[in-house]
Amino acid sequence: MISLTRRELLTIFLGAPFAMNACRSGESRPFPEGQIVGQSATLGHILRENRTFDVPPDNWESKKVAIIGGGIAGLSAAWKLKKQGFNDFVLLELEKEVGGTSASGKGEPVGYPWGAHYLPVPFQENTELISLLEEMSLLEGRDASGEVIVKEQFLCREPEERVFYKGRWYEGLYLAVGASDEDKRQFAEFQKQVDSWVNWRDAKGRRAFAVPLANCSDDAQVTGLDKISFADWLQQNGFTSERLLWYCDYATRDDYGLKADQASAWVGLFYFCSRVRKSGVESQPFITCPEGNGQFVNHFFEKVRDNVRKGQIVVSVVPTDKGVDVICLDGKELRGIHCDKVIYASPMFTAPYVIRGFRDDPPFAANEFQHNAWFVANLFLKDRPKARFAKDFPLSWDNVLYESQSLGYVTATHQKGIDYGSTVLTYYYPMCEDPNGRTTLFNYDWKQLADVCLTDLSRAHPDIYELTQRIDIMRWGHAMISPRPNFIWSGIREKAEKPYRNIHFAHTDLSGIALFEEAFYHGLRAAVEILGHGR
Amino acid sequence: MKSTPLLFLNVIIIATCGLIYELLAATVSSYVLGDSVTQFSFIIGVYLFAMGVGSYLSRFIDKNIAEKFIDIELAVAVIGGFSAPLLFLTFAYVTYFGIILYSMVFIIGTLVGLEIPLLMRILQDKLDFKELVSRVLALDYVGALVASLLFPIFLVPKLGLNRTSLLFGMLNAAVGVWATWLLEPLITKRKAMILRVKGVIVLALLAIALIKADRLTTLAEDALFVDNIIYTKSSPYQRIVVTKGKTGYALFLNGNLQFNSFDEYRYHEALVHPAFAAFQGDVKRVLVLGGGDGLALREIEKYNSVEFIQLVDLDPDMTKVSSAVPALGELNKHSFSDPRVHVTNGDAFVWLDAVQAEPFDIAIIDFPDPNNFALGKLYSTRFYNLLKQKLKPDSSVVIQTTSPLIARNSFWCVMKTLESSGYTVKPYQTTVPSFGIWGFALAKLQPFDKPAKPPTNVELRFLNNETFASLFEFPADTSKPDIELEINRLDNQALVRYYETEWRRFEQ
């Protein structure tokens, strides 16, 4: 633990001017209890030791397929295998619970997310994803044009978003209040550019930005955008409005954990374009629930629970002449599984540590799959923060602080229509200011991170200290893949998507962006590859 | 000193201002807290005592008396001048109103108490003691008379409390600035300049507030009631106020009128009996959502066939208000003591979603108007779909749906929302003088004809055969508008936006 003064800590996370102010105010505030939860960072790091493992002969078994990793990709693959009547597989999960970054917690009055917390309603052509939603009875029907209609109670309830700026809350994410004529002109111009990309089609009729990303155009006119940062693109297109730049920066921090000058222009525009059907229509609505994407995790798990083994540290994956041997640490015992095929549904950067022989002849450069770090805090409140002004826009689903480096918080009770009494707020903080964000993050303890979170929120809610009864914190060392310039369209994805000696990779990393839809796509792709092979 | 007589004019003004602040505090507190005898008595007592404290403290001021005197005048101008608006705002937004009220009264009283002794000491070299005491005190009491006559006759009716407060603050500050000239020999030039600058700043602040007073009034005097307040309670959900006036008792939630006893029977008869008239057979089980005042219950309990009434209201303080205020208990005929009534305190939306219950024959839905998102969800397709699980195929439902005259789009938006949720809807309206033209929806899950007559076996004051038939007639200005209205869904909350637009036209 590095020792820092409180002011130094707050300066790092919240910026100097605010830290000065926060430190001046009284210290005698109640401080809630809580702890660091989840993620077995130390377990994961056993992988890096690269030793050999001898499995006792009695501890070997045979399975046709092993899925390594129980995040959305692994669960989707398992779900697909099961749905196709294929049952001779096992899913090995490192943690005590499946879900990966879609993990969630159970509690009163409602559950709450630890990571991903919504899914935009898919377009009708994403038939596989729609069949999942159908199976979960989230759908009500289809509209005249064939697009699905999601049941009202699963669509993000209004009021959806608000932004806190100079002491007050305003509706929406783009700060419209006090915008100058030039701000408005630039915002309209930005919308126009987005619209033109929404309508853009290549010679083969493909969209510039589509979900899953596999359906995007590879035309150089679009992929060229991947060579520069989003900030550079904004500058080249004459966008200087502070609030517009903030809005774009917020977008990339929110979806990719990167600032606009770190994310590629391609992913920046992807955020704004990929969920809009055609110009002039609203972006696709969000499917959400108190536990966020935990609802999908729970559904998958229900379907495949018999095939899931939790707390399994896969220490070695050994390609053989007959197939693949998987060796894992189950508690203190080493176990081995002879498999025909493996679906490797773990972050790509782990491949060289786990797959034997990978390093000697790497099929792709795994170290190019770089992840960024986040911390997520769940605050358990005994009551709602009091509105400070009668005309303040009320508590919403997503609540963003304009002047903060955090992403603000989502309200777990919102979707259930529980508008009074206790609630859970989930606070998100991407470590994108610091080039060594991950190392930095793990240098801080619970108390320090809780202090950052409470101090940050106290600018909008001075009563947060009295209201918060507990604050738990998850440090995500490898939260999501970083789509920096020259990554997504560099050709590495195609290489990594190819099976390597009976090992099929399936992870959202392979799309270069961390999205439920991408993880799902790759999970299904790998499952289909394996099923196809078996027949 | 050049102008001793003018300094005596100063005394009158100071005295007038001092008493005005005292009257303001007493009036504001009796407006918002009720019980004017107690409020006036306490405020006068605390204020006079504080003046005594001020007079005593004056002995500790030895040097630069003239300068300190002017400083005190400016301080009184600021605190006194802003007292009324500040008290209204704190009442609206702060829970510990009493502490702020009495601290303010004490501070103003202390400062005013300092003024006269200091002024007398300034004048002591000019006049002999006998002359000084007689003149200053006589004029002090004249000022008090002026204030107490002006206040009820002119100031409150013509200017209102906020403007009076700010205006006298300005007068107070002006006297302070003026005194920098009157007391010129006693103050150094530099000090006099500083005092004048201060005075001008105080004047400017008060002037700005005076110009913006209309805005302050809508902010603060929203909560101002014409009648005497006899009960207030701030629950975690809302502020409950009961007033008593010439026309009877009235209940307000967050400043919005819920009923007035002189005509509430019109509203509640119209709310309850059409649902009974539309139901075939004996009504046994009734669900009431909202309606914590117990007045709808009173109407329901008139039916002997009813065996079970489930009432769900958000606020326990609301369902208790009729026991807290005996007059309201009489008004609802102690409807909560009826053994058929079962009360649950909770959000009806969450209750419908989470609680299993046998279906009901009739549902009476009486929520506040949809003026925020938490209320808007109670008028959504999701809500009406959840409600279905608590209904039988032939159950009848009535919903209060705001004024079709003032909020025409809102009213018809609710009708459309109900229809799109699978209900057959018969909109109707009536006149409740306290509210104006008021609208309701009678709905069923199957096609039905609108009932022709009220039920015959109950005693009614308002509904008879003629009025009953006319309920379902809509004049041209309240009929369904020609525009395509949105359906109110959780994910668009269209109704809250219609409602806000329509009612905003009637705000100041």
Q: Kindly report, residue by residue over A345-396, the tens digit of the pLDDT.
A: 999 999 998 999 999 999 999 999 999 999 999 999 999 998 887 788 999 9
Mind listing the pLDDT tens digit for each residue in B14-67?
888 988 999 888 887 776 665 667 778 889 999 999 999 999 999 998 888 888
Closest CB to B491: pick one of A157, A394, A419.
A157
pLDDT recorded at residue B336: 96
Last residue of a domain, one of B178, B203, B222: B222
- Mean pLDDT for the stretch of residues B173-194: 87
Check whether A237 has a pLDDT greater than 90: yes
Q: E strands of B411-463, at which residues?
A: 424-432, 436-444
Q: Is residue B249, in this structure, part of any structural domain at all? A: no
Residues B264 and B389 placed together within one structural domain of the fold: yes
In a domain, B379, yes or no: yes
Give residue-wise pLDDT tens across range B276-294: 999 999 999 999 999 999 9
Asked if pLDDT for residue A49 goes beyond 80, the answer is no
Tell whether B17 and B130 lie within a shared domain.
yes
pLDDT higher for A15 or B158? A15
Mark yes or no for CB contact B373/A418 under 8 Å. Answer: no
- Taking the Cβ of residue A419 and every Cβ of chain B, the question of whether any pair is shorter than 8 Å is answered with yes
Chain B CB contacts of A416 under 8 Å are 350, 353
In a domain, B234, yes or no: no
Residue range A17-46, pLDDT digits in tens: 777 777 665 556 788 999 999 766 555 566
Site of tokens 């009806």: B348
CA distance B212 to B124: 42
Using a pLDDT cut of 90, give the percent of chain B over it.
Answer: 56
B127 and B267, same domain (yes or no): no
CATH number of A6-30+371-481: 3.90.660
Residues in chain A: 535
- Tell me the DSSP string of A6-54: HHHHHHHHH-HHHHHHHHHS-S-----B--EES--HHHHHHGGG-----
Using a CB-CB cut-off of 8 Å, the residues of chain B touching A156 are: 491
Q: 10 Å Cβ neighbour count for B504? A: 8
Is residue A312 within 8 A of residue A94, CB to CB? The reply is yes
Which residues of chain A are within 8 Å of residue B372 when distances are taken between CB atoms? 394
Residues of chain A with CATH 3.90.660: 6-30+371-481
CB contact under 8 A, B490 and A416: no
**Is residue B232 one of the residues assigned to a domain?**
no
The three-state secondary structure class of B407 is coil
- Rounded CA Rg of chain B: 30
How far is the alpha carbon of B163 from chain A, nearest alpha carbon, in Å? Answer: 22
Q: Is residue B45 assigned to a domain?
A: yes
The token duo for A21 is 């102010």
Going by C-alpha positions, the residue among A281, A347, A355 that lies closest to residue A514 is A347
Answer yes or no: do B264 and B194 share one domain: no
Question: Tokens representing B173?
Answer: 């500050």
In angstroms, the Cα distances linking A172 to A106, A397, A399, A430 are 29, 11, 9, 21
Number of structural domains in chain B: 2
Q: A42-104+292-369+484-534: what CATH class? A: alpha beta
| Nearest by Cα to A226 from A197, A263, A251 | A263
B207 lies in the same domain as B312: no
Q: For residue B223, what pLDDT is reported? A: 46
* Residue B178 and residue B90 share a domain: yes
Q: Which of A158, A383, A390 sits opposite B490 (nearest CB)?
A: A158
Q: Which domain holds residue B301?
A: 257-504
Cα distance between residue B63 and residue A204, in whole Å: 92
Q: What's the mean per-residue pLDDT of chain B?
A: 89
How would residue A535 be classed by pLDDT, with cut points 50, 70 and 90? very low
Residue type, B486: E
- Most confident range, picked from A430-439, B4-13, B289-298: B289-298
- Min Cα separation B493/chain A (Å): 6
B366 is catalytic: yes
Is the distance from CB of A404 to CB of A348 less than 8 angstroms?
no
Stretch(es) of chain A classified as CATH 3.50.50.60: 42-104+292-369+484-534
Q: Which residue has the higher pLDDT, B457 or B395?
A: B395
Query: What sign has the CA pseudo-torsion A284, A285, A291, A294?
Result: negative
| Residue in B closest to A414 by C-alpha | B374
Residue A242 banded pLDDT, cuts 50, 70, 90: very high
Higher pLDDT, A70 or B164: A70
Residue partners of A445: CB distance under 8 A and separation at least 6? A1, A36
Catalytic member of B140, B366, B369, B449? B366
In the predicted model, is pLDDT for residue A167 greater than 90? no
Which residue reads 């005076």 in tokens? B210
Residues B305-347: tens digit of each pLDDT = 999 999 999 999 999 998 888 889 999 999 999 999 999 999 9
pLDDT of residue B483 exceeding 80: yes
Show the CA angle centred on residue A371, arms to residues A365 and A374, nearest 5°: 175
Q: Of all helices (H) and strands (E), which one includes residue B270?
A: helix B264-277
Q: List, by residue range, all CATH 1.10.405 domains of chain A.
A: 183-283
Position B154 in a domain: yes
Which pLDDT value is given to residue A434?
81
Q: Report the pLDDT value the prediction gives residue B62, as an integer from 0 to 100.
A: 85
Return the exposure string of A185-219: e unless at least 16 CB atoms fall within 10 Å of the residue's CB, then b: ebbeebeebbbebbebeeeeebbbbbbbbeebbee
Residue A44, pLDDT score: 57
Predicted pLDDT of residue B508: 45
Q: How confident is the model at residue B222 (pLDDT cuts 50, 70, 90)?
A: very low
Q: Could you tell me if residue B169 is inside a domain? A: yes
Structure tokens at A456: 């940050």
- B373/A394 CB distance under 8 A: yes
pTM assigned to the model: 0.78
Rounded Cα distance between B200 and A303, Å, is 76
**Mean pLDDT lowest among A116-125, B182-191, B474-483:** B182-191
Chain A neighbors of B377, CB-CB under 8 A: 157, 417, 419
Q: pLDDT-based confidence at B119, cuts 50/70/90? A: confident
Pinpoint the alpha helices (H) of A279-365: 294-304, 351-354
In terms of domains, do B265 and B179 share one? no
pLDDT average, residue stretch A224-250: 97
Range B479-506 average pLDDT: 92
The span from the CA of A334 to the CA of A57, in Å, is 10
Report d(CA A309, CA B371) in Å as an integer.
51
Cβ–Cβ pairs < 8 A, chains A and B: 56
Among candidate residues B207, B222, B237, the one where a domain is terminated:
B222
List pLDDT tens digits, range A111-147.
999 999 999 999 999 999 999 999 999 999 999 999 9
pLDDT given at position A389 = 79
- Pair type for strands A112-113 and A119-120: unpaired
Same domain, B322 and B446: yes
Whether B374 and A394 lie within 8 Å, measured CB to CB: yes
Task: Determine contact, residues B113/B52, Cβ cutoff 8 Å.
Answer: yes
* Helix%, strand%, coil% for chain A, nearest 5: 35, 25, 40
- pLDDT: is A391 or B368 the higher one? B368
**What's the mean pLDDT in A276-284?**
89
Yes or no: domain A183-283 corresponds to CATH 1.10.405: yes
Q: Which of B170-184, B407-421, B422-436 has the lowest mean pLDDT?
A: B170-184
